[in-house]
Amino acid sequence: MMINSKEITIAKNPLSIFKREGIGVLFILIIMFLFLSVSSPTFLSVENISNLLLQSVFVMIVAFGTMFVLSMGGIDLSVGSVLGLCGGVTGWLMMSGTNMWIAILAGMILGALIGAFNGLVITKLRISPFLATFAMLYIARGLLFLLTSEDPIRNLSTPGFKFLAQGSFLGIPMAVVITFIVFVICHFLFHSTSFGRRVIAVGSNKEASHLSGISTDSVKIRVYALSGLLAAVAGILLTSRLTSVQPLMGDAYELDAIAAAVIGGTSMFGGKGSVVGVVGGAVILALVSNGLDLLAVNQFYRLIITGLIIVIAVGAERFTSVKTN
């Protein structure tokens, strides 16, 4: 099987992307940390930093999957609804007396299956990713409404389940520990495996990838399955955090996930992504929300500030890319 030069470059040095990527993200993070450190005396407290990390992890996990999808040249608008549905199914199973681990596994499998179904619709029926995942957004959200309409899912007080997002390990919130594990796995997949190289290859040039022997349809299905799986993981953690499931849980998470990925240097046109950049992007979004709370500013400004940050981050990345090329 032939592998294009793009794949070979990444394979030889998977860390080479960090020489150019992330400069804009790092600059914004430093500026925001300095500004909030001076503006609010409680910003650097252990309690606030812990809360900041917890604010970012749920979007971060979803954004890892979104980064894979965008890098491949696709888009997934269903992840917020999938997050809510999979968290709801997990909670519903536990309320019905199902073993916690079986319920969690069922929620994760459901997320992966929904993602794979998205991939199949896109590749086999030739429906655009935007339309296919937009339709799934409504389907999954409707199913969640049906699941929660008659019997609300709440009071999930199982100690083991609550520990997943409310407990701590060596003083570190357990949700952060789980997110770090997910980060390591996603980083390895994207930067150190043939799967990651093929994702970039398909996103860079689908036709050339197909001619070089890459099964582009298979790559797409697997990427969407991964996106659904990660949305499910985030949904299960959020359910553990809230100990309940609301019909609108996960609403607009798809937009935050796209924002985190794009701020982190992922291209909306495919062929470029960074797992580390997603971490920075998600933390930036959490910083905006956290900073507005500390400064007692209306959260509606978050939308405006987030939009400006996206423009600045993308502009900075484009400028540095031109300078280094």
pLDDT tens for 121-169 read 999 999 999 999 999 999 999 999 999 887 778 877 688 899 999 988 8
What confidence tens digit (pLDDT) does each residue in 246-300 have? 899 999 899 999 999 998 889 888 888 999 999 999 999 999 888 888 888 887 8
5-9+20-32+47-320: which CATH architecture?
Orthogonal Bundle (1.10)
What confidence tens digit (pLDDT) does each residue in 10-23 have? 434 444 444 455 66
Query: What angle (nearest 5°) sits at the alpha carbon of residue 137, between those of residues 205 and 95?
Result: 125
Strands 168-169 and 172-173, by their bridges, are: antiparallel
**To the nearest 5 percent, what fractions of the chain are helix, strand and coil?**
75, 0, 20
Report the predicted TM-score, pTM, of the whole model to 2 decimal places.
Answer: 0.88
Q: For the residues 202-218, what does the mean pLDDT come to?
A: 87
| Residue 174 and residue 116 in contact, taking contact as beta carbons nearer than 8 Å | no
Residue-level pLDDT at 2:
43
Q: For the residues 31-53, what does the mean pLDDT come to?
A: 88
| Residue 209 and residue 198 in contact, taking contact as beta carbons nearer than 8 Å | yes
| Spatial separation of the C-alpha atoms in residues 94 and 82, rounded to whole Å | 18
